[in-house]
Structure 1
């Protein structure tokens, strides 16, 4: 455990932009890992709330158009000085392996090992185009150890009217 008090860690505010309620436009590949360009587009909504004084947050995505709900649990790993994100979906109830990463001038890149249909992949989440009222989340998988990447899901967030 770090001796730094939480309020001395500026990184704990990195995800403050996502707090609140959102309308989300989704664009998701119908088939991953096969060089497909057939996308499914659908709406969803989301909300996010901070926990532990900003050290963590919980985000829920509701997608009635596709019959599932998902939840991201983000926490800031103080010793590593990086964010860790876990995802769980109502489609299977399985807590996915975490992705880890840091913010930089253009957003945030997080990566971690995962599997896709039994195939090992490296998962990459990218947060970009962050403004007070919008943000983009992109998911990409690498099936070849990081040599190439296939973007398979894009979520464009627009702040919902209160």
Structure 2
């Protein structure tokens, strides 16, 4: 009887370990954004209260070193908006970089970082539309195997405080 109890406890321990979320401290830097790879259904509400939906397909390309994003808004006031990004870890600089382009002529250059269990891509500080400076960032958090939340935020005070512009809920297809 003791053997059955011990074996049962061992099986439960193995199952609990394999289902646990990997901590960021357990990952190599080049794997920080691997959670993002897959096919995703998206839903969001922007800071004006407008709802939308879309898809995002994320894949590793170029020998698995580059992460490529293919975003498409399919419902709401952004319907028809499309964008792509490529993200790569630069081992010489020990940092992540992303370049975003879209079908409206947009281009954004971002640098990646980690803050606790959050993964972040952030722009450099640039002149704001009404003077001062502005920084934008995307923050990936509440990361689980089949879902996570993505926020697009902006700061007009050098990153001291952040305003939410757009929140997307990702659900794996």
Alignment match, 2:151: 138
What RMSD in Å do the two structures reach over aligned CA positions?
A: 2.2
Alignment match, 1:69: 82
Q: Which has the higher contact order (CA 8 A, sep 6+)?
A: 1
1: CA distance between counterparts of 2:56 and 2:72? 6
Aligned match for 1:23, one of 36, 41, 56: 41
- The answer as to 2:80 corresponding to 1:59 is no
Post-superposition CA distance 1:34-62 (Å, at most 9, x none): xxxx3211111110110233321111111
Name the structure where helix makes up a greater proportion of residues.
2
2: CA distance between counterparts of 1:140 and 1:157? 17
Kept in 2, the 8 Å contact 1:13–1:54? The answer is: no
Q: Which runs of 5+ in 1 are unaligned?
A: 1-8, 30-37
2: CA distance between counterparts of 1:64 and 1:43? 6
Kept in 2, the 8 Å contact 1:24–1:155? The answer is: yes
TM-score (norm 2): 0.73
In the TM superposition, residue 132 of structure 1 has moved relative to its aligned partner by 1.0
Alignment match, 2:171: 158
The 3 A distance-change label for structure 1 pair 51 and 72 is same
Alignment match, 1:102: 113
Deviates more, 1:10-19 or 1:134-143: 10-19
The 3 A distance-change label for structure 1 pair 147 and 103 is closer
TM-score (norm 1): 0.77
Name the structure where strand makes up a greater proportion of residues.
1
- The answer as to 2:51 corresponding to 1:41 is yes
Equivalent pairs, count: 142
Decide which structure has the larger Cα Rg and report it: 2
Alignment match, 1:113: 124
2: CA distance between counterparts of 1:15 and 1:131? 12
